[in-house]
Structure 1
Amino acid sequence: MAADPRRADLGEKLVALRDLATRLDVDTLVLREPANLTWLLGARVNVPQTLDTACLDVVVHLAGEGDPRLVVVTNAIEAPRLRDTELAGLDGTVDVAWEVVPWWEGRDARLPTGDRVAADRPAGELRSAADGLAALRRRLTSVQQATMAEVCRDAAAAATAAARVVEPTSTGYAAAGVLARELLDRGLDPVVLLIGGAPHLEAHRHPLPLAEPVGERVLLVACGRRQGLVASVSRIVSFGEVPAAERGAYERLLRVEQTFLDASVVGARLGDVAAAGCAAYAEQGFAADEWHRHHQGGLSGFVPREFPAHRDSDVVLEDGSVVAWNPSAAGWKVEDTTLVLAGGPRPLVADKDWPTLDVGGRRRPDVLVR
């Protein structure tokens, strides 16, 4: 059986954690944030999708010159499942111990404390490793980049399949069910599902599914997650030809997106990328304050958005950063998940079966007319 690339990738991340511990002058790091845990383990660390808490904690002991030692802290419900599925093979890759608590006890008492310990969710006098860990996970390793490309490809295919099934008479809930099924069939957990029917496209930027027919146009939005990595995708279906003026507005929006993508290069300050994209609305004939009506996206990777990017965002994009921009205007929206590389930005959410337009030398999603 071929080795799991996630396990081979673990060594690279443990080296990065040792460097972080050295900078913080600590011997032990405690990881509790779901995004940090999925970055380290390449695994599902949740039970409910809706909670910002994980079902395990990981303690990384880094003292001395020897190999790091991991302690997985979880409860008696989750331990067997984690051993058999999500973390299968971990014991053979690194020195790992399991601290299993009864389900009626919390895990906090089993976690280390002291002045040689830092955590991403520090309590009391414990030192914070939150910023350092966030910086590490915002630069994907080569293995994670390959996985992200697969996740985005499958998310795009799921959206295409759903778009060919939904009808004008489908309710928003039915359309969401189709999209969720297509994601799950491809091994993607649907962590965001939005369905915008024709009556609400211009007014509602986060359209939750409704129990009414979608009508003559529908927006399908999803974030699909596998091995912790998230692909964001938006697709629009028109049941009938799009009037020329409306199509023109969509194409102008794609040129707004082009500005975001063109600016997303290694070494760029995130706030400068956001400012350039926001300024493009007026340049493309939209209201200058159109960007006030919806956030424009930002850093992605292990969450749909780390935070909405704005002109004061001082994070610098690196080789391996991930951004997901989602400009919207006049009832239209476009979205992709893009890998920032030394050779330029690489949009990943593409499907050969979806119609495209050439915008600035890139193939970008067109409206699917049925």
Structure 2
Amino acid sequence: MLSRMSPHSAGNALADRAVKTSRITDILEGRGLDAVRLTSGEALSWLFDGARTSVPVGGAAVFSASVGRDGQVRVRALRNEAERLAAEELPGADIDVVDWFAPLDAVEPGEAAESVISAELRAARASLLPSEVQRFRALGADAAAALTEALSGAHPDETETALAGRLASAVYARGAEPVVVLVAGAARSGVQHPVPTAHRLGRRAMAVVTAKRHGLHASATRWVRFGGAEPEAAARIREVEAEAWAATRPGRTLADVLSDIAAAYAQHGFGPDAWLRHHQGGPTGYAGRDPKAAPTSRERVDVDQAFAWNPWAPGAKAEDTALVGAEGIQALTIDPAWPTVAVRGMARPAELDLG
């Protein structure tokens, strides 16, 4: 067994972990369960103060954790990962070391699999603690600054992959991981998820990033053009986004919010079925979308919960990560250096014209 305190922020990590462990034990009490085996990256990173849970970005977790109704937490970690985890990711955790080929998700007698209480766990991590909000604000600012840095140097003859590489580098330079990087030049502006290609940017381009740090995900989209005017659809998609934020009120279900978003597409001239052409986003935090909002989503909007809506139409998309605070919506992925337009009193990113 290994147990080692991390030299950084150990006290805050343990205090937050106590709050989160209490939320889990409340779930176990309510379900009449003795313990649960956490195996997903989002649950583990949430519980362990933003620990990096995998080796490949977005890969399977290299440890699991059992949380008992008595509040005891024990980690099961692979032998080739345990020392690093104890030193760098899991301050104060009790770690049971297993062979690198041992199953991390094996459920012991008296334990329930995470899937049994997955809905309750998602609700438990929805409302962010003050330390998490602080980290999210810093991450959002860095993600927005990375987009500004990468796009400010763009030019029409540059390839999508070149821009994507510069964006990923800017995110890494800020101590975060680029878990999603998308780029669309003018020829591919109608692609919902434009995985970068060797196409040239042309006269107009879009870049999308999701940056991850301390387990949190901040997503944002920006557009750049090289002369000419912003297309009329861009302003209308920002109006759809405004309707999305207006609909995101504590206590409402995601299904109710999504219904308002769907209606907003028709209201702003995109047609009644336009919302079906791309997912619209949803809550974010320890997963990129936690979950994606769907017509059947019964999860409710919580105070101090982060959201990233991403209304889309061919050649137009708006996306930022924002916090649903007690006093309204607070955008997190904003860079003061990027041009903005006012949409219903909220500063929203405009297209950057590099003419």
TM range (shorter): over 0.9
Which residue number in structure 2 is paired with residue 124 of structure 1? Answer: none
- Inter-CA distance 97–3: structure 2 relative to 1 (3 Å threshold): closer
Q: Is the 8 A contact 1:28 1:118 kept in 2?
A: yes
Report the Cα distance in structure 2 between the residues aligned to 1:102 and 1:361, rounded to whole angstroms.
57
Give the drift of 1:352: 0.2
**TM-score (norm. length: structure 2):** 0.93
| Pair 1:80 & 2:83 matched | yes
Task: Output the amino acid matched with 1:316.
Answer: R
Q: Secondary structure at the match of 1:363?
A: strand
Which residue number in structure 1 is paired with residue 100 of structure 2? Answer: 103
Task: Output the amino acid matched with 1:326.
Answer: N
Give the drift of 1:108: 4.4
Q: Secondary structure at the match of 1:305?
A: coil
Task: Output the amino acid matched with 1:46.
Answer: S
Q: Is the 8 A contact 1:148 1:229 kept in 2?
A: yes
Query: Cα deviations across residues 8-30 of structure 1 (Å, max 9, x unaligned)?
Result: 21111111122111111122221
Q: Which moved more, 1:309-318 or 1:186-195?
A: 309-318
Report the Cα distance in structure 2 between the residues aligned to 1:330 and 1:193, rounded to whole angstroms.
19
Q: Is the 8 A contact 2:29 2:69 kept in 1?
A: no
Q: Is the 8 A contact 1:297 1:305 kept in 2?
A: yes
| Pair 1:141 & 2:135 matched | no
Q: Secondary structure at the match of 2:37?
A: strand
Q: Is the 8 A contact 2:39 2:104 kept in 1?
A: no
Which residue number in structure 2 is paired with residue 209 of structure 1? Answer: 196
Report the Cα distance in structure 2 between the residues aligned to 1:230 and 1:212, rounded to whole angstroms.
28
Q: Is the 8 A contact 1:34 1:54 kept in 2?
A: yes
Q: Secondary structure at the match of 1:303?
A: coil
Structure 1 unaligned spans of 5+: 122-127
Give the drift of 1:82: 0.6
Give the drift of 1:3: 4.0
Query: Cα deviations across residues 161-197 of structure 1 (Å, max 9, x unaligned)?
Result: 0011222111111111000000000111011111111
Which residue number in structure 1 is paired with residue 317 of structure 2? Answer: 333
Which residue number in structure 1 is paired with residue 51 of structure 2? Answer: 43
Report the Cα distance in structure 1 between the residues aligned to 2:201 and 2:8, rounded to whole angstroms.
46
Which residue number in structure 2 is paired with residue 313 of structure 1? Answer: 297
Task: Output the amino acid matched with 1:12.
Answer: V
Give the drift of 1:200: 0.9
Match runs of 1:1-370 below 5 Å: 3-4=9-10, 5-41=12-48, 42-51=50-59, 53-63=60-70, 68-87=71-90, 90-91=91-92, 96-109=93-106, 111-114=107-110, 117-121=111-115, 128-202=116-190, 204-242=191-229, 246=231, 248-370=232-354
Report the Cα distance in structure 1 between the residues aligned to 2:94 and 2:294, rounded to whole angstroms.
42
- Inter-CA distance 341–239: structure 2 relative to 1 (3 Å threshold): same
Query: Cα deviations across residues 189-244 of structure 1 (Å, max 9, x unaligned)?
Result: 01111111100102x1100100121111110001000011000010001011325x
Q: Is the 8 A contact 2:86 2:95 kept in 1?
A: no
Query: Cα deviations across residues 115-162 of structure 1 (Å, max 9, x unaligned)?
Result: xx22214xxxxxx12222121112212221111111111100111100
Q: Is the 8 A contact 1:299 1:323 kept in 2?
A: yes
Query: Cα deviations across residues 312-348 of structure 1 (Å, max 9, x unaligned)?
Result: 3221111122211001124011101121122222221
Report the Cα distance in structure 1 between the residues aligned to 2:8 and 2:100, rounded to whole angstroms.
35
Report the Cα distance in structure 1 between the residues aligned to 2:317 and 2:20, rounded to whole angstroms.
36
Report the Cα distance in structure 2 between the residues aligned to 1:166 and 1:7, rounded to whole angstroms.
44
Structure 2 unaligned spans of 5+: 1-6
Report the Cα distance in structure 2 between the residues aligned to 1:59 and 1:314, rounded to whole angstroms.
27
Report the Cα distance in structure 1 between the residues aligned to 2:133 and 2:309, rounded to whole angstroms.
18
Q: Secondary structure at the match of 2:65?
A: strand
**TM-score (norm. length: structure 1):** 0.89
- Inter-CA distance 291–108: structure 2 relative to 1 (3 Å threshold): closer
Report the Cα distance in structure 1 between the residues aligned to 2:225 and 2:14, rounded to whole angstroms.
44
Q: Secondary structure at the match of 2:22?
A: helix
Give the drift of 1:6: 2.9
